[in-house]
Structure 1
Amino acid sequence: MLFIQNDPPPDSLMDFPPCTYYNDNSERSRIEVTDTSMMDGVQEVLDKLRPFLLRDGGDCELVDVEDGIVKLRLLGACGTCPSSTITLKAGIERALLEEVPGVVEVEQVF
């Protein structure tokens, strides 16, 4: 089992403090997770792509980056579009893989 301890929510997504993860074995090992540079790089690429999404009535929101997996929420028209998987994988994921070191995959969250 994995326990997560975090400070109260910040005012913006980019102000999140690092999470502290504890596993429940007897030694209670502690792992600090700080992916702020990757989050900044992902956000920068998303900001470049955003005008194309907005032009079609959609948008995306960065939810989390965990172990190189970028979690995005598609908004507006993108959230219900039958081509959203293509947009996510062939467009957004490809751009992130090329421009942000450490990104391995993009997943859609709802």
Structure 2
Amino acid sequence: MKVSDMKHEDLMRELDEVPGVKEFMESFPVLIAHQIIARRIDLGWTQEELAKQVKIVTGDSMPQSTISRVEGASPGIKAETYEKILRTLGMKKLMIEFEDCPDAAQNEIHIRSGSFA
């Protein structure tokens, strides 16, 4: 099958086989980028309009290029940048789900009472 004939789902399955791709697609920057893009599109805003709204809501300037970097899941984005964008988009809460950690029971933590000097 030629790449041009592949459907999106087929391509994603193929990419899952490439080392590191699945981990990247499940990384925080990619997951949060998907949420930001979806919300921005729901609001009918361009990246430029979102950048202008960030200035209105937070008082801080943010260039469109930063919005593009966030939506492209670029590395090195500061938590403060995500916070400004999410607040501007009207984020109510952020839910984080954890998988069960099979080794957690083996990693016992012993706590002693007393003072630390």
TM-score exceeds 0.5: no
Which structure's residues are more often helix, by fraction? 2
TM-score of the aligned structures, taking structure 1 as reference length: 0.32
Q: Could you say which structure has the larger radius of gyration?
A: 2
Which structure's residues are more often strand, by fraction? 1
TM-score of the aligned structures, taking structure 2 as reference length: 0.30
